[in-house]
Structure 1
Amino acid sequence: MGFRNPIHRINDSHAYNGVALEETDKAPIINQLEEQNPTRSLWTPFVLRRTSIGLFLVTFVACIITLAVLYVYSDRHHGLASTDESLHYLWTYGPTAFLTLVAALWGQVDFRTRQLMPWQIMLHGPATASNTVFLDYISSWEGYVLWSSLRKRHVPVALSVFGALLIKLLIVVSTGLFALRLVTVHNFHAEFLMLDKFGGGGFRQAVVDFGPFSTIYSIHKYGSDYPLGTTSQYAYQTFNTSSSNVTTNTTLIGEIDAFHSPFTCRVLLDNVTASLQWDDGIVTKTVQVDPDTRLKITDDDIKISTPDCEVSLPRWDNAWQALFTSCDGRKSIDSEYDPEVDEMMSSSRDRDSLLLHVVITADEDDQSDFQDTQFTAVYCDVDYSIVRANLTIDNPLDPVPMLDTSNSAKHPDRKLPDVTNFDILNALRMAVQNMTMEAIPSITMPPHWQRSSHFFTVMNSSVSQPQDSNWLDAYKIKRAAELSFPPLVAQIAKLYLLHSAEDSFTGVQINSENRLIMQDLSFSLMQGCLALLFLIGVGLFLVAPRQGCPKDPGSIGSMATILAASPEANKAFEGSGGQDLQTLKGKAASTLYRSGLSSAPSGMLQFRIEVEPEQTKMGTDGVEHKIEWWRPFSSSVVAQVLIFLGPIGLVIALEILFQQSERNHGIADIGSSAYIQYTWSYIPAVTMFAVALMYNLLDFGARVFQPYSLLRRRASTAATSILNPQLGKITAKCFYDSLRQLQPATAATSLAVMLAGLLPIAASGLYTMRNIPRLTPVDVRHLDSFDFMSYGGNDIPLSRPDLILNHNMSYPRWTYQDLAFPSFVLPENNTHEPQALNTVLNVSMAAVRAKANCTALNNDNINIISKEHGVHVNLTLPERCLRPVTTYKPYEALVDFNYSYFGRMLETQTQYPDECPTLTIISGHAQKDAVSTANVLLCSPYFESVETNLVLKVPSLDIDLSHPLITIEKTAKPIASSNDYSQVVPSDSFTFSYSQIQPHDPAYRTDYDGVLSTMAYGFHGTPPPDLVGEENLPHLQAAFQHVYGVAQAQRVSWQFRQETHTPSSSSTLSAITAVLHNPDRARLVQSGISTHLLAGLLTGMVLCAAVAFFAIDTRRTLPKNPCSIAGQASLLAGSEMLGENVIPPGCEWWSDRELRRRGVFGGWMFSMGWWKGGRFGIGIGHAEQEHQ
C-alpha cells in the first residue's frame, strides 16, 4: 500500500482529534466523520494533559517565589529563625522529602513522554523504522536518552529527561539549602529598662562620706575595676533587658545620660621665690613674676593677678592649701581650715573654682630680716555637664561595659536644675575630708608645717610623689589635679546623683545565635534549576506528545489489540520473535511506518499501524538458528556486585564513621570556608543517588521481565500476564499489585525503590556542624601554696575586706567571696594551642575557706539591763572561760542612739581555747519601756580546704563570673583552727577594720560597730530587723559567715601565701586539674538517627534485591528487549491470539480494565515459547520450552 504523502495532511473536514485521516485501497479512510458520529478519541495520559503540566508550572513558580521570599527574609534578618541543632531534621528532611515527591510525579511525565514519542512520530508519519517501531527511550538511562533525543530533535523527550535530571540535581542541592550557623543578630528595637536616672534633689543637703574615695583607692591600690556605672571620667546610667534571650555572647547598646566633670587647670605661679622683709610682720611686697603676672604679699593676704584673673587668699607659711575661689578678686575660702567654713560657702556659692596653693618659707630659726618664700599656685575651673552617650554592655551575665561619648556633640549638654558647679566642688570637699587618712602613704612635710590639705593627699594617692616632695612644681600639681579629681567626682555622682528608676526605652540587642540560614550557593542553584524546570514545563505544555495512540500501549494485551487491527504490521513482524533487534532493524531499514484512523467495513473507526512499502514477514523463526538471549544490565555480574556489595560497604563505612564521631565528638574539625559545608551535604546525597540508580535498574529489569518470565515458565491467565503492565505504574501501586498477585520479584524491587527514594532524605540529615568544645588538658605551674605557720605581716589599715564588702570593690585575683585559691601560670609549652576568642580554662583545685563555726548562746546566759540612755548586756560564757564578760556598754557620745538596733563583735579573752569561743557576736534591739532582745553567737573559727570547680578567662586567668563556681562540699576538710595556729584569729584589727557605714536615708536607728554595720549595710547586707530575734538566728549566722568568710579569704591570700620554691611541711599544695575549653570549635558530627535510618534502608534494600534475584530468572527468557514497539510486536505477530475470535474488532480502543470487564482474553491461557512452525513468541496454550 502506498502513502499519498509522507506527511499527513489535515483537511477541514477530514480530521479527527487533530489527526488526518487517509484513504487507502484496502480499508478506505473515512472522509466524512461527522456522518459516522464517531465517539472514539485518541489517548492522552493524565500527566501529559495541559492541566497536569500546568500544575507543575504552578508548583515550580510557587517554589521560586517561596525560596526568594525566604532568602530575602533570611538575608535581612540574619536567618529565618533561631533554633536548636537538635531540630535540624526538620529543615534537612523537609525540602528533600518534598522534592522527592515531585521527582516521583515527574517520573510519570518522563515515562509517558518517552513511551508516546514513537507513537506520536508514527501518527505524523510516515517515518523510518528506527524513529518509530524500533525507537526505545524507555529502557535507556537518562544521559543516553537526552543525548539521543537531542540528536534526533525529539524535543519533548529531551525536555522531560532534562527535567528529570534537574529534579534529581535539585534534591542533591536541597540537602545544603538550609544550615545552622552562629550569626550576629541585631534587634534595633529591643526593649530595655533603665535602672537609674540623674537627679539633683537633696544633693546639696547630702553628707558625702568616704565611699567615693574608698572606691578610687581600691582601683589605684589593688587594680580593681571601676564599678558598673562609672569610668575614670564619667558616671552614667545603667540598664538591663527583660529578654530571656541573654547569653554570654549577648551585647546591649543603649543611649544613656552620662555625667562628666572635667577639671581644667592653669598655672598661675610656678615655684616663684620672693624675699620677704620682716618688721613686726611682713612688709608688703609686690613681685612682678612676668609681664602678665604679679604677686602681692601682705601680712594677711596673698593676691595673684593676671590679665584675666585675680585671686586673693589668706596667707599661711609652709602650707598646702586648697581653696574655693573665683577670678573676681574676692578672698578665697579655705575649704578645710577657715572657721565657719560651711556658713561661708553657703553664702559664697559662686566661688566654684579650686585654687591649689603651695607656700614654703625658709627656716624660721633664721634670724635675718629677710626670708625667702616659694609660691606655687594652680587655678582649676570646675564644671560638669550631662551628655548623651552610647553604652555598650558585653555579656550581661558578667557585664563588661564600654562608654562611647564620641557622638555627644550631636546633643546639647545640660545641667541638673538643682546642682551647680559649686555643689560638685563642695561634694568633692566632703569626700576628701571624710576619707581615711591612714589609708594613704603620706609624704614628708617640711618643718614647721602649718596647713596640709586633704586634696594634696588625694593627689598623692593617684600620682605618687617622692617622700621628700614639696609639690612646688606647678605642672605636677596641674597634672595630678586633672587626673585625680574627675574620677572621684564620677564616683560621687554615681552614689549621690543617680537615683533608682524603672524607665523603658528601646536600644540595640546583639546576640550570637544559632540561626537557620539559606545558603547562597544552594539557593542560586535551586533557583536556576527551578527556572529551567519552568521553561521545560512551558515547553511540554506546548509540545508534549498527546493523542498518539488509542490507549495505554504498555501491556502485552494492549499491544496485541493494536496489532490485531494492523494486519500490515502483523504480517511484517510475523515469525520474528526469536530474532534480535539489530537483525530486525537491518531488515526494516528501508521501511516506513505510520499510524492513523480508518473505517472498517462495518463502519467502525479503527486505529492501525501501516507499513510502506508493504513488507513480507521479516521473521525466520522456522529456520534453524541460535537465539541470543537478552538480559538487562541489572542481571550482569558487575551490577549484582554493585547492588549487593555497594550498600553493605556503605553500611560498614557509616558505622565506622559514626563510632568515630561518637568517640571523638565529631569526625573532624571544620574550617572557616563558606563552601566547605556543601561537601558533607552534597556528597552523601550523590552517593545515595548512585545507590538508588542501581536499584532503579534492578526494578526496571524486574518489571520488564515479570510478565514474560511468568509466560515463559507456565501458561497464565491474561490478568496476571498480558494485561498486567508493570512499567509506568507508580512504585507504590506496583508494590501493592505485586503483593496482591503474589509476584515477589516486582514486590521486592518496588519496595527497594521506595526505600531508595528515602535515601537522599535520610542522607540530607546525616552530617551537621556543631560547636563542640575542644577540651585540652594542660599542665600548670604552681606559684604558691598556703602555709598557716608562715605569717606575712599585717595589711594596711584600710583593708581589702572593707573595700569589698562595703564599697563593692571587685575581688582581687585568686580570691572570690569566701574562697582563696593558690595561684599558678600556664607554662609556655601549653601556649601553642590555638585559642579562640571565647576560650576559657576549666579548673578543679582545692581552695581555702574560713568557717565561722558559730552556735547560739542560750538566752538564760544573756542579761539585758535597761539604763537611762541605753542597755547593758552581760553574758555568762561556758565554764572554764574565766569570768562573765561585759560585752556591750554604750558610749556617752552615742547616748541618743542607745535605744536602737545594736551590735558588736568581740574577741573573747580566754586561757582555754579548746573549750571556749574565740569570737562573740551580739545583735539586738533595745527600746525604752519595752522588752529588749539580743542574739549572741559564740564562734570557734577554723579553716578548711574544699575542692572547687571554677572557670578562668584566658589568658588573664581572671574568674569568669558567667560560669558559677561550684564547691564540692563532700570534699571539705579542716586544715587549721585556733587550737593549731595562733594566726587563725588575729590579735590585730586587720580582718575587721571596717568602715562605719551611714545609710543615706536610714530606716532604723542603729548602734553598730564596723562588723555589724557591714553585715547590715554592706553590699548584699541583711536589714537590721532580720538580725534580731530567735527566728532570725539563721540569718544572723549567715550574715556573719559571709562577712567573716570574705575577710578571711583576703587575709589568707595576703598573709599566708608562700612561694612554692620554698615549701614547708605545713603548706597546703594540692593537685590542680586544668582543661582548656574552646566552646567555638566547629566539628563535623554524624547523626545517629540518620546513620541508623540509612543502615536500615540499605539493609532492607539488599534483602529486597536478594528476594528479587531469587524470585525471577532472566536466563533464556527473552531474545530481545521488548520495550520498543517492534520488540513487543515481534513476540505477538502471527499468534492466533490476534484472531477475531480472541480480539474482536475495536478492542484497540479499550483500556486493560475495559478488556477485563468485557471478558476479552477471558477463558484463555497464555504462554511464551516455541510454537508449531518454529515461531517463538506469545500464544494461546502451552508453548514448548525448547525449540523442537
Structure 2
Amino acid sequence: MTKRTTCRHGHHFLVSLPEAWFSLQSLYLLRPWEIALHVSQKNDGLANVSSNEHQHYLWTILPSLVMASVGLLFGRMNFNTRSLAPYAQLKRRTGALFKESMTMDYLDSLTTTNIIRSIRARHFAVLATTLAALVSSFLLIVASGLYSAIEVPHQISMNFTPETTFYRGNSADSNQISGMVVAKEILQKNLTFPRWTYDELAFPELSMDMPSNETENLYVDIRMPALRAAPACYFQTGSQLQWNFTKVNHGNELVYQLSVLAPSMPCSLTDQDMGSTSLTSSPVLLKSQGPFGQSRILPCSNNFSANTATLYIWGNIENDSAEKISAMTCIEAAETVDTPTRFQLTGFDITDDHPPIPDDSSARSAPNFGVPWISWNNLHVTGDIAKNSNLDGFFTALVMGKYAIPAENLLNPNSSDMVIKAINRQDRILRAQVFSDYSRSAANGTLGHTHLPGNITMPNRLRLSQDAVSTRVLEALLASNLILGIVGSILMNTDHVLPKNPFSIAAVASLLADSNILARYETVMGDPNEQSLGHAFFSRCRFFLGFKEDMSDQADPWQISEDSGCQKYCIYLSERGGETIWGNAWV
C-alpha cells in the first residue's frame, strides 16, 4: 500500500473575526450618537462643564480614540483583503492565470494605485475594503470636532423684595440739591446713571435671598414698577401768548425785562380743590440781545402743599424787541409705570447694553405722591456759560448737555415740537434723580409681603454640545464604511482563503514545496528571478490553490487522475498539449 501524507488545516493566521459581522457592529455606533444629538438639541447640551481647559481635551480625545479604533479595524480588514487577494484568485474553480495571481501584489502600492489596479483586475473586494479604509481616515478628523463647550444661558426663578418706596416729601427739604448735582453731572459730563435710576426712571431698591458671592457675573430680568415724572403741559406761541417787553434799570445796568401772562391751570390733575396756578410769574431779566431761554416757578394760589407749575419761556431779542416768543406751562405730576428691567448682579447695575423699556400701556397716576419743587439754579452752570448769556441753568443744559439740541431751534417756531420734546425729556431725567435722592424712604414693612418675581440668568454657563453637522457627516462616513465592509466581506471571506500565514517564508515555501511548480520551473533557462521568463513560460498555465495528490513517484507528473485523493494543500499549475484544464476536467 502506498503511504500517503495527509495535510490538515491548522489555525488561521489571523484572528477569526468575520468581517461582515464586524462591519455590522459599526452600525451600533450610529445609534448612541443619534440619541446623544437628540438630547443635546433638546436640553441645550449634554451636561454642564467647567472652564478648565484640561477637561476640554476629554471630549476631543475620547471620540477620536473611538474613531481611531474603528479606523484601525477597517485598516486591518483592508490589509487582510489585499494580502490574500492573490490567493483568493487561485481558489476559483477555473484557477488563475500567471498575471492574475503570481505577479499580483497590493501591499506595496499607494491607496490610489490599489484602487486603479483593483478596478482593472476586477478585484472588487480589494476595491471595497480600500475605499472603506480611505473613508475611515476621515473619521478621526470629523470626530475631533464632534463635541465642544458652548455658553448657554440658564435661568433661575426667584422672588425679590422691595426695600424702599417713594413718599410725599417736604418741599422745603434741601436734600434735593444733591439730586440736582448728580443730574448736572449726567447732563453735562456724561456721568452714568446712579444705581436704581436710569434715564427718566427711578426704581425701588430690591433685595434677594442669595449670597452675593454666588451672583457674580449674573443678571436678573424683572418687571417692576418705576416712578417717573408725568407733567401736563400747555404750549403757547404767537397771538396765543400775552407778554410785555420793556427796558429797565437793574442795579447799575440797563437790562431787558420780559413778563408773560401764563394760563390758569389746576394745581392738581386729580383734586380740583387744590386751586389754580398763578397767572403771572416773576419777570425775566435778560442782559443782551440774541436767543434766550428761562424757566420760572408758578406757585399755587391757595395751597402751599399742592404741586407747583413750571413756566418755560424761549425766543429771541433783536433790535431791542422780543421776537418769536414761545412759552410752555407744565403742571408737575408723577406716575408709576411697569418696566421690564435687566439688573447686572451683584450690584443691581443697569447697563446701556440693555436699557429698561417702560410699558406705557401700564402707566398709572401716582396722585398721593408730591413732586418736589426744583430750583434750576441748583444746577450751578454759571461757570459754564458766558457772563451775559440769556440762558438759565435748565436751557444751558438743554443746548449744551448730553442730550443737547441746536440753539438755533430756540429761534425757529417751526422747531417748537423738538424744543418741547427736549424740555420734557430733560425735566424727567432731572426729576428722576430728585425722586431717587429726595423722595426715597425705607419700606419698613409698609409693602406687606409684596414680592416681585424675576429670572436670574447665568450667561457664562458652559454646556457640552454635540455638533449636528459633524454628527451627520460622521454617520454618513460610518454608513459608507458599513456598506463597503459588508460588500468586501461578501466578495471575499478572508477566514477561508488560506490556513497559513502568507508572511511566513516557511508557510509560503510549504505551499510550493509540495506542488509541481518547482519541478516545471527547473527547465527555465536563465535568471530564475526574471519575470519576463515567467510570463512567457507560464502564460498558458492556470494556477490553483487546494489539496493535490502527491505524485512524486509517478512517471508523468503532469497527469492528474480523476480518482486520485487530495492529500496535500499547495499551489499547483495545470497545462496539457496547449489546452488548459478547467478545474479537474479537460476542455
TM class, shorter-chain normalised? Answer: 0.7 to 0.9
| 1:1124 and 2:504 aligned | yes
Q: Residues 76-135 of structure 1, C-alpha deviation per residue, up to 9 Å, x if partnerless?
A: xxxxxxxxxxxxxxxxxxxxxxxxxxxxxxxxxxxxxxxxxxxxxxxxxxxxxxxxxxxx
Q: Distance in 2 between matches of 1:699 and 1:930?
A: 104
**CA distance change for structure 1 residues 805 and 1031 in 2, over 3 Å: closer, same or farther?**
farther
Quote the residue 2:472 is aligned against. 1092
Structure 2 residue identity aligned to 1:1062: T
SS in 2 for 1:926: strand
- Conservation of the 8 A alpha-carbon contact between 1:1015 and 1:1040: yes
Q: Distance in 2 between matches of 1:1008 and 1:1127?
A: 111
Quote the residue 1:655 is aligned against. 34
Note the residue ranges of structure 2 that are not aligned, 5 or more in a row: 248-254, 268-275, 303-307, 549-559, 575-579
Question: Which residue of the other structure, out of 184, 187, 199, is the alignment partner of 1:817?
Answer: 199
Structure 1 residue identity aligned to 2:17: S
Quote the residue 2:363 is aligned against. 974
**CA distance change for structure 1 residues 1032 and 839 in 2, over 3 Å: closer, same or farther?**
same
Quote the residue 1:932 is aligned against. 323
Q: How does 1:79-98 map to 2 (within 5 A)?
A: none
Q: Distance in 1 between matches of 2:257 and 2:143?
A: 83
SS in 2 for 1:799: helix
Q: Distance in 1 between matches of 2:499 and 2:192?
A: 92
Q: How does 1:1130-1149 map to 2 (within 5 A)?
A: 1130-1133=510-513, 1134-1136=515-517, 1139=520, 1145-1146=526-527, 1148-1149=529-530
Q: How does 1:230-269 map to 2 (within 5 A)?
A: none
Quote the residue 1:386 is aligned against. none
Quote the residue 1:948 is aligned against. 340
Q: Distance in 1 between matches of 2:3 and 2:184?
A: 113
| 1:889 and 2:283 aligned | yes
Structure 2 residue identity aligned to 1:692: G
Q: How does 1:547-586 map to 2 (within 5 A)?
A: none
Q: Distance in 2 between matches of 1:724 and 1:1105?
A: 22
SS in 1 for 2:109: coil
Q: Distance in 1 between matches of 2:411 and 2:338?
A: 31
SS in 2 for 1:1037: helix
| 1:689 and 2:81 aligned | no
Quote the residue 1:845 is aligned against. 224
Structure 1 residue identity aligned to 2:373: S
- Conservation of the 8 A alpha-carbon contact between 1:718 and 1:1165: yes
Quote the residue 2:293 is aligned against. 902
Quote the residue 2:439 is aligned against. 1055
| 1:752 and 2:136 aligned | no
- Conservation of the 8 A alpha-carbon contact between 1:781 and 1:825: yes
SS in 1 for 2:499: coil
Q: Distance in 2 between matches of 1:780 and 1:707?
A: 80
**CA distance change for structure 1 residues 1034 and 719 in 2, over 3 Å: closer, same or farther?**
farther
Q: How does 1:107-186 map to 2 (within 5 A)?
A: none
Q: Distance in 1 between matches of 2:218 and 2:313?
A: 47
Q: Identify the range of structure 1 (1049-1058 vs 620-629) with the bigger mean alpha-carbon deviation.
A: 620-629
Measured on the aligned residues, the alpha-carbon RMSD in Å equals 4.3
Quote the residue 1:316 is aligned against. none
Q: Residues 29-55 of structure 1, C-alpha deviation per residue, up to 9 Å, x if partnerless?
A: xxxxxxxxxxxxxxxxxxxxxxxxxxx
- Conservation of the 8 A alpha-carbon contact between 1:796 and 1:990: no
Quote the residue 1:870 is aligned against. 256
SS in 2 for 1:698: helix
**CA distance change for structure 1 residues 682 and 1142 in 2, over 3 Å: closer, same or farther?**
farther
CA positional deviation for 1:669: 4.1
Quote the residue 1:1011 is aligned against. 394
**CA distance change for structure 1 residues 780 and 889 in 2, over 3 Å: closer, same or farther?**
closer
Structure 2 residue identity aligned to 1:1094: L
Q: Distance in 1 between matches of 2:368 and 2:319?
A: 42
Q: How does 1:414-563 map to 2 (within 5 A)?
A: none
CA positional deviation for 1:668: 3.9
| 1:806 and 2:195 aligned | no
- Conservation of the 8 A alpha-carbon contact between 2:160 and 2:452: no
Note the residue ranges of structure 1 that are not aligned, 5 or more in a row: 1-619, 912-916
Query: What's the % identity of the aligned pairs?
Result: 20
**CA distance change for structure 1 residues 624 and 798 in 2, over 3 Å: closer, same or farther?**
closer
- Conservation of the 8 A alpha-carbon contact between 2:81 and 2:125: yes
Q: Distance in 1 between matches of 2:262 and 2:360?
A: 36
CA positional deviation for 1:975: 0.7
**CA distance change for structure 1 residues 919 and 729 in 2, over 3 Å: closer, same or farther?**
same
- Conservation of the 8 A alpha-carbon contact between 2:278 and 2:298: no
Q: Distance in 2 between matches of 1:1063 and 1:971?
A: 24
Q: Distance in 2 between matches of 1:621 and 1:1130?
A: 19
**CA distance change for structure 1 residues 671 and 904 in 2, over 3 Å: closer, same or farther?**
closer
SS in 1 for 2:426: helix
- Conservation of the 8 A alpha-carbon contact between 1:897 and 1:1006: yes
Q: Residues 452-511 of structure 1, C-alpha deviation per residue, up to 9 Å, x if partnerless?
A: xxxxxxxxxxxxxxxxxxxxxxxxxxxxxxxxxxxxxxxxxxxxxxxxxxxxxxxxxxxx
**CA distance change for structure 1 residues 1032 and 1129 in 2, over 3 Å: closer, same or farther?**
farther
Question: Which residue of the other structure, out of 444, 448, 454, is the alignment partner of 1:1073?
Answer: 454
Q: Residues 345-397 of structure 1, C-alpha deviation per residue, up to 9 Å, x if partnerless?
A: xxxxxxxxxxxxxxxxxxxxxxxxxxxxxxxxxxxxxxxxxxxxxxxxxxxxx
Q: How does 1:262-277 map to 2 (within 5 A)?
A: none
Q: Residues 560-589 of structure 1, C-alpha deviation per residue, up to 9 Å, x if partnerless?
A: xxxxxxxxxxxxxxxxxxxxxxxxxxxxxx
Quote the residue 1:701 is aligned against. 80
Q: Distance in 1 between matches of 2:530 and 2:417?
A: 98
**CA distance change for structure 1 residues 834 and 999 in 2, over 3 Å: closer, same or farther?**
closer
CA positional deviation for 1:803: 1.0
Q: How does 1:201-220 map to 2 (within 5 A)?
A: none
Q: Distance in 2 between matches of 1:721 and 1:1131?
A: 14
**CA distance change for structure 1 residues 887 and 713 in 2, over 3 Å: closer, same or farther?**
farther
Quote the residue 1:964 is aligned against. 353
Q: Residues 190-246 of structure 1, C-alpha deviation per residue, up to 9 Å, x if partnerless?
A: xxxxxxxxxxxxxxxxxxxxxxxxxxxxxxxxxxxxxxxxxxxxxxxxxxxxxxxxx
Structure 2 residue identity aligned to 1:818: E
| 1:1179 and 2:583 aligned | no
Q: How does 1:1-150 map to 2 (within 5 A)?
A: none
**CA distance change for structure 1 residues 853 and 713 in 2, over 3 Å: closer, same or farther?**
farther
CA positional deviation for 1:1000: 4.0
Q: Distance in 1 between matches of 2:240 and 2:464?
A: 70
SS in 1 for 2:115: helix
Q: Distance in 1 between matches of 2:238 and 2:299?
A: 18
TM-score, normalised to structure 1, is 0.40
Quote the residue 2:546 is aligned against. 1169
Question: Which residue of the other structure, out of 103, 117, 123, is the alignment partner of 1:743?
Answer: 123
- Conservation of the 8 A alpha-carbon contact between 1:801 and 1:991: no
CA positional deviation for 1:1147: 6.5
TM-score, normalised to structure 2, is 0.75
CA positional deviation for 1:1099: 2.5
Q: Distance in 2 between matches of 1:1057 and 1:871?
A: 42
SS in 2 for 1:768: strand
Quote the residue 1:623 is aligned against. 5
CA positional deviation for 1:890: 3.1
**CA distance change for structure 1 residues 897 and 765 in 2, over 3 Å: closer, same or farther?**
same
Structure 1 residue identity aligned to 2:545: M
Q: Distance in 1 between matches of 2:112 and 2:182?
A: 75
- Conservation of the 8 A alpha-carbon contact between 2:151 and 2:459: no
- Conservation of the 8 A alpha-carbon contact between 1:861 and 1:876: no
**CA distance change for structure 1 residues 721 and 1168 in 2, over 3 Å: closer, same or farther?**
same
CA positional deviation for 1:632: 3.1
Q: Residues 734-774 of structure 1, C-alpha deviation per residue, up to 9 Å, x if partnerless?
A: 23433444433222211221122222222322333445555
SS in 1 for 2:87: helix
CA positional deviation for 1:1132: 4.1
Question: Which residue of the other structure, out of 484, 494, 517, is the alignment partner of 1:1104?
Answer: 484
CA positional deviation for 1:640: 6.0
- Conservation of the 8 A alpha-carbon contact between 1:948 and 1:965: no
How many equivalent residue pairs? 533
